Each structure stands twice: as structure tokens, then as C-alpha cells.
Homo-oligomer: A and B are copies of this chain.
Amino acid sequence: MTQVVTSTVSSGPGARGAGESRRQAEILDRALDLVRENGLGGLTTKKVAERVGFTEAALYRHFPSKKALILGMMDRLEGMLVEPIRILAQDVSKTHSERLESIVRHHTMLVRRHNSLPILLLAEASVSDDVELLGRMRSIFHAYLSVLEGLLREGQSAGEISEETRADCLALMLLGAPAALAIRHRLLPDARAEDRFEEMLIPFLINSLKEAKGRS
């Protein structure tokens, strides 16, 4: 009852996330494809089964409920969004701004490669009435912002980033850029504009963090 992704203890090599069997991993891959195409609201157990190539009932051999499937996707989101940026944040061979830049670039890459998947999951799950789902999203979102905020604060202490504006506000700004790109990517897809975003806007944002310092 309390288990979410039932599994035969970690399992073999092909498994993606911890606690995912090979087959579960494959099903999650197909389900994530569908979310990229139609959003979380458009996800049905029937479509997932069709995409995997078996019947709806077979899906329930691998996941006890649709909710468990969605929670499995949240784990994936955490794995692709939060875990990598934690690692990027700890790379002491780079300055704080360089690390922030690589985090924003990572997020941007995810948005483009996965067709705005992060914001789709975030926005659609944010209106869910399921407390567990909502809590999971909240914790992923909070974890992401915390990494940014921590790095910004360190950069401020090191005198590398302006202390004029609070780190939590700056973190929100750094999240906003890829978020806006994601909405744009969904509604007005334009690879050229997205290239420009990466080439010009990310450096601009990172630069503005220091820039303000020279003022007053």
C-alpha cells in the first residue's frame, strides 16, 4: 500500500532509476513520450499501453495504479533536473557564476530536448488535488530553487555576485528564463530563437548578477 513503484529489488543493468525494473523503465520512457506530446492531462492508461505495445491490463502488472506511474515520472524528472544541477553546483573548479551558467544551460537543454517536459509536469501537477503528487512536485521545485539560492549566496559571500538583491529573488529569476523559454517552445517553436536564447540571454543574465556590483 505504501510502496509506489513495486520492484524486484533494484534489478539488472538496463534499469534507469533506482528501484525501477527494466520493463518499468521502458514503460516510463513511453509514458514520458506521451506527456511530451499531450501533457499530463492527456495521459491515459490506454495510450500508455498502446505505446508500449500491450494491453491496459498488462500495465497494471508493472504499476499498481496510474498515480504510481506518475510518481515514477516525477522520479525521472528529479533525476534529470535536480540531481545533475546538484553536481554542477559542487564543481569547485569553476567560479560561482560559471556554475550558475552551466545550471541554466542544463535546464535549457532539457527544455529543448524534452519538449518543455519539466514545466508541463510542474504546471499540470500543481493543480492536482492529490496531496502526495503535489508534495512531490513541491519538493522537486524547492530542491531546484535551493541549489540556485545556495550557490548565489556563496557567490555573494565570495564577493563575486552583487549583494544588493536577495539570493532567493535572483534564484527565481534564473528559473524564470528557462521557464519562459519552455512556454515559448510549446507555443511558438522556433529553433533559431532558442539558439539565440542560449547564445545571448544566458550570458546576459549571468553577467547581470555581477554587473550590478559596479553601480552605486
Contacts and interface: CB of A to CB of B under 8 A. Distances in A.
Interface residues of A, number: 51
A13 interface: no
Nearest to A38: B127
Interface in A109-131: 119-120, 122-124, 126-127, 129
A141 B129 CA distance: 27
A32 interface: no
Nearest to A139: B187
Given A137-B187, A177-B173, A208-B208, A165 B127 contact: no
21 contacts: A38-B127, A39-B126, A41-B41, A119-B123, A119-B183, A120-B123, A122-B183, A122-B187, A123-B123, A126-B183, A126-B187, A141-B187, A169-B200, A172-B184, A173-B204, A175-B176, A175-B180, A176-B178, A176-B179, A179-B180, A208-B208
Interface of A: 38-39, 41-42, 119-120, 122-124, 126-127, 129, 134, 137-138, 141-142, 145, 164-166, 168-170, 172-173, 175-181, 183-184, 186-188, 193, 196-197, 200-201, 204-205, 207-208, 211-212, 214-215
